[in-house]
Amino acid sequence: MTQKQAKAEAYRRWGVSGTITFRPSNPTKNHRGRLARYCCIVSNGANGSSRSVEGQGDTWLEAFADARPR
């Protein structure tokens, strides 16, 4: 799934508030925080706002499969 397809899926699931975030791994930094191993994040809230559903994974498909209420 491409980023464009992931964005379309987020809009389909959650409307205009659906967001995706891609955080590619940085080989020079091993630790970015507790959830650093996941590079794909999907949610039903715009960046910086309250999110009631969020999913994370190494791929967009994994992130959508993980999406559940927080």
Q: Tens digits of per-residue pLDDT, 11-34?
A: 999 998 899 999 887 666 655 555
At residue 6 the predicted structure's pLDDT band, cuts being 50, 70 and 90, is very high
Domain boundaries, the chain: 3-69
Question: How far, in Å, are 23, 48 from residue 41 at the CA level?
Answer: 8, 14
What pLDDT score does 48 carry?
A: 56
Mean pLDDT across 39-50: 78
d(CA 31, CA 55): 20
pTM: predicted TM-score of the whole model, two decimal places: 0.77
* Tally of CA atoms within 13 A in the half-sphere of 1 that contains its CB: 19
What pLDDT score does 28 carry?
A: 61
